[in-house]
């Protein structure tokens, strides 16, 4: 069975635009000094499987009944990291490079070094669907290229995938900056 843990990298053309909408949907937005290796590692580390017997439920160490996930749900949450792409561009900004440097160090950490990741690019609905699919693919590939080149992460661990404009993070505001994002998904076999 394959489980997927999600941590999204939200791309913004205008700093801090659209944050309340993202936060209202239950997504914790990491920005500036909140973007730390430990936070990214926590968000991308797959949850430990609990052991179940006929009448006893044994949780992973450190997990209390109050913090335990319901059966069938991941105990690890989602986290967004502000990454800046200019509108209609796949070029990574200086500010985005700084955040991706933290992500790169996290992906090279002992806890995440053995995992593979899907890197999904997203676009807002401006432009046609075919164009947005190409743009989102280019964004995902830009992130992969940066992590491979600057952090020596094996390309085999990173699979770029363009999602176009079909999975909006903020459907109430289709052109909101948080809809232009890159999402990391931890692949667990």
Domain ranges of the chain: 3-44+76-188
Strand bridging mode 3-11 / 79-83: parallel
CATH architecture of 3-44+76-188: 2-Layer Sandwich (3.30)
C-alpha 112/C-alpha 82 separation (Å) is 21
**Biggest alpha carbon–alpha carbon distance for the chain:** 55
Q: If you average pLDDT over every residue of the chain, what do you get?
A: 74
What is the pLDDT at residue 77? 29
Could you read off the pLDDT of 28-37 as tens digits, one per residue?
456 667 778 9
Contact yes or no for 180/138 (Cβ under 8 A) = no
Could you read off the pLDDT of 177-189 as tens digits, one per residue?
778 888 888 887 6
Contact yes or no for 144/100 (Cβ under 8 A) = no
For 187, the token pair is: 């692949």
C-alpha 103/C-alpha 120 separation (Å) is 15
Could you read off the pLDDT of 40-88 as tens digits, one per residue?
888 888 876 655 556 565 555 555 444 444 333 333 324 456 666 777 8
C-alpha 38/C-alpha 40 separation (Å) is 6
Could you read off the pLDDT of 115-163 as tens digits, one per residue?
998 888 888 899 899 999 999 999 999 999 999 999 999 999 999 999 9
What is the pLDDT at residue 158? 95
C-alpha 46/C-alpha 78 separation (Å) is 11
For 45, the token pair is: 């580390």
What is the pLDDT at residue 76? 33
What is the pLDDT at residue 43? 83
- Cβ-in-10-Å burial (0-12, 13-18, 19+) of 66 comes to exposed
What is the pLDDT at residue 70? 37
What is the pLDDT at residue 80? 55
For 106, the token pair is: 């996290």
């Amino acid at each position: 069975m394959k489980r997927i843990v999600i941590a999204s990298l939200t791309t913004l053309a205008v700093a801090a635009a659209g944050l309340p909408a993202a936060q209202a949907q239950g997504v914790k937005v990491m920005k500036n000094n909140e973007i730390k290796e430990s936070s990214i590692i926590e968000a991308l580390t797959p949850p430990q499987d609990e052991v179940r017997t006929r009448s006893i439920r044994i949780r992973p160490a450190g997990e209390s009944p109050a913090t335990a996930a319901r059966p069938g749900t991941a105990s690890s949450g989602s986290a967004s990291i502000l990454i800046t792409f200019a509108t209609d561009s796949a070029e990574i900004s200086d500010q985005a490079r700084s955040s991706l440097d933290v992500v790169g160090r996290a992906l090279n950490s002992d806890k995440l070094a053995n995992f593979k990741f899907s890197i999904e690019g997203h676009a807002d609905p401006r432009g046609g669907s075919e164009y947005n699919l190409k743009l989102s693919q280019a964004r995902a590939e830009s992130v992969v290229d940066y992590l491979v080149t600057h952090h020596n992460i094996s390309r085999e661990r990173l699979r770029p995938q363009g999602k176009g404009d079909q999975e909006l993070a903020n459907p109430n505001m289709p052109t909101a900056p948080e809809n232009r994002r890159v999402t990391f998904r931890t692949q667990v076999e």
